[in-house]
Structure formats: structure tokens, C-alpha cells
Structure 1
Amino acid sequence: MDLPALLDLQEPGAVAGLSDVFPQESHPFPRDAVLARWRVELADPGVAAYVAHDGSRLLGFAARRGDEVLHFGTALQSWGSGIASWLLEELLATFDPEVRRIRLWVFTDNGRGRRFWEKHGWQPTGRTTRSTFAPYPTLLEYARSRTGDESAPADGSR
């Protein structure tokens, strides 16, 4: 995976989408730290990473581990085009069939992100944690059944 190209795609979306969470004047995109995190995660055999491209340019990325979406994003210029919805469906199809409930973390103050996940059937679980990146904003856990069947256990059991 071409990590510099991935960061070139990830950074503009993170800056645009998370400026309320990470004010750029005081907390600019931590490119080196994000690159280091990607390297560690990609070295983990339990992490699967995916990129979407149109043959000439990168359109999006996703990574997962176990029952969790670790990373998900699309090129800033593709926002509103439906690529994110397509990429999400492609990603959901890669989870082990025994995983009935999938989870992820969204910044509490990321309204755009939360609207996207909720539109696709994800629900907040009420669990929170803090980001490892300053200013350490709160993340809210979201979950949904793999099939959209909300009878799947809410506790994440398989």
C-alpha cells in the first residue's frame, strides 16, 4: 500500500471534516503520527486494509480488524457522489460471516460523520473513549448488524 498517497487522500478530508474537532490553528493534521499508526496497523496480521481507485487515482480507503472498522474515508472531491456508500457496502462484505455486529468509533463532534453512519443504519451504543491525538476529543462508539437486521445482539456478541 502506498502510504504517502493514502495520507495525501486522508489529510484533506480529515482537515475539512474534522476542523470543529481539531482546530487547524492549534492542532494541525498530525501526518507523521498518522503515518506511524498506519505502519503499525498494517504490520498487524489481524488488520485488513482496502483502497478504492478508478485506475488512475485513489478514491477511498478502509481498514478493519475483527468486528471493528478502524479507518474509513474518501477523497474530498468525491464527497456527495455516493462513493462512500459504495465503499461501505464493499467493506461490510469483507467481514467474517460469523461477525453479526460491527462497530466503529466516531468523534462526538463530527456531525457530518455521524449523519453518514446513522443514514446507513449505525446506532450509537453510548460507550465513549478519548482520542490519542490532542486535544483528545471524545469518540462515541457506533454499531450495526452486518445485514441491517437490528435483531443482532446489541452487546456485539456473535
Structure 2
Amino acid sequence: MHVRPATDADLDELVDVQGEASVVALAHVFPQATHPFPRAAILGRWRAELHDPGVAVYVSTDQDERITGFAARRGDELLHFGTAVGTWGSGLAGVLHDALVATYPHELDRIWLRVFDENHRARRFWEKQGWRPNGRTSRSPFAPHPVLAEYELHLSAHS
């Protein structure tokens, strides 16, 4: 696996990877018949974030330079994280997680993220990596506006 900053040329493939994983993992949260994956909106968001100097966007690739995962961070927030469905269970997510955490400024003591409350697979992953829910919640901007649980990781305990 290779992790590198994302480029404009990566965006379509990145959204394809995210879309497939989202449909598989979140069909119970976003029923596809009524709330299909919003590809155009997600692509637009990625494009804006890629060009935002405050956001760092990364992709992981395999030996053939195919995107296997993605991650983005802003300040002390982990914005986006996911891996291709075909890599699930391979350990790639843990390696990508550690590579991303290593990119945060050393002066930070705590980082945070939001995860869909009903995404039990993801919540197990985050907790296995040392993240803990902090009790705060919000709602997704995408209909049907499911609950997002906030998690945090204390970097001093993680290293």
C-alpha cells in the first residue's frame, strides 16, 4: 500500500470507491430506493475540499495505482475515511488509519471524527483503533439526516 496526497485526477475513482462502500455499509441508513448515494454532491464536496488549503486529502493505492482507500482531515478533525469493499478485512484500514494519524500536527493532543450512529461496523473499527465516543451527536446534511456520533482519539495515548 502506498499513501499519497490526492489529486484532481483521483476524484472520480475516489468517489467510485466511496460510493460502493457506502451502498454496502450504509444501505440500512440510506435506503437506496429512496436515498441513493448522492454521487454529484459528494464529488463536488471532494473537489472543494481538495482545493481548500485547510484540508488535507489522501488516497491509498495498490501496486497498480488503483485507489484502495481515502482519508481527509481538517485541523483536529478527521473528515472522511474509507477503504474499497474488496479490501475489507485485509488490515488495510488499520494501516491507512495509522498513516493518517501520523500526519496530524504533533502539538495536537486530541482529534475527533463523526460516524453514523447506525454504522456498527465502522464504530467497531474506530473503537478498535482507540477512539471513544464523547457523547456529542449531530445530523448528516444528507437526507434522511441520520444521527452522527462524535468520537475522539487522544494522541498521547495512541502513540
Superposed pair shares fold, TM > 0.5: yes
Pick from 86, 91, 99 the counterpart of residue 90 of structure 1: 99
Identity %: 57
More helix by share: 2
Q: CA deviation at 1:51?
A: 0.6
TM normalised by structure 2 equals 0.91
Name the amino acid aligned to 1:9. Answer: V
Superposition pairs of residues 7-86 of structure 1, within 5 angstroms:
7-56=15-64, 57-86=66-95
Q: Which runs of 5+ in 2 are unaligned?
A: 1-6
Partner of 2:3: none
Q: CA deviation at 1:43?
A: 1.7
Q: 1:29 to 1:126 in 2, by over 3 A?
A: same
Superposition pairs of residues 70-149 of structure 1, within 5 angstroms:
70-148=79-157
CA-based RMSD of the aligned residues comes to 1.2
Q: CA deviation at 1:147?
A: 3.6
Q: 1:74 to 1:95 in 2, by over 3 A?
A: same
Name the amino acid aligned to 2:54. Answer: G
Q: C-alpha separation between the residues in 1 aligned to 2:68 and 2:119?
A: 21
Q: CA deviation at 1:117?
A: 0.3
Q: CA deviation at 1:49?
A: 0.6
Q: C-alpha separation between the residues in 2 aligned to 1:80 and 1:113?
A: 12
Q: C-alpha separation between the residues in 1 aligned to 2:59 and 2:51?
A: 16
Deviations 1:76-111 (A, max 9, x none): 000000000000000000000011101000001110
Q: C-alpha separation between the residues in 1 aligned to 2:17 and 2:128?
A: 24
Q: CA deviation at 1:39?
A: 1.4
Following TM superposition, where does structure 1 have runs of at least 4 consecutive aligned residues deviating by more than 6 angstroms?
none
Q: Matched residue of 2:112: which SS?
A: strand
